[in-house]
Structure 1
Amino acid sequence: MGFLSGDAVRLRGSTVVYKVVAVNSNLVTILVSNPQPDGQYLPFTSTALQTVDESRLETADDAS
């Protein structure tokens, strides 16, 4: 699929929007994007920054 740094993405099946911060082959590091599309801010928890396989991600078209 090919994500780029700065892209807005979601984990498949989730409503939380993340920003791509790094891409290494098929591994993508993502950080919680604040504010979320609904205007809410999410806390910086242990899952706010994570590295996942790109197959687990989808583009968040409704987020900037």
Structure 2
Amino acid sequence: MTDQTDPPKSLRAAGAVDVKMLELLVCPLSYGPLTYDARTEELVSPRAKLAYPVRDGIPIMLVSEARHLADGE
């Protein structure tokens, strides 16, 4: 009898960013830390005031694809 257990549900499948990957990523412009905003599905760089989109669990780390954050955001 083989033990067939379901593999753990990956964060990518849920549309979120893997926590371990987030610890390794930095903003390509400021080289500062990023935080994940689950509401907007973006990686936010407070230092650069940019928000990088996350599409299907994959961060798009291109400055040209980033959204500029408004003051206070």
Question: TM-score with structure 2 length normalisation?
Answer: 0.29
Q: Which has the higher helix share?
A: 2
Larger Cα Rg: Structure 1 or Structure 2?
A: 2
TM-score by length of 1: 0.31
Higher relative contact order structure (alpha carbons within 8 Å, sequence separation ≥ 6)? 1
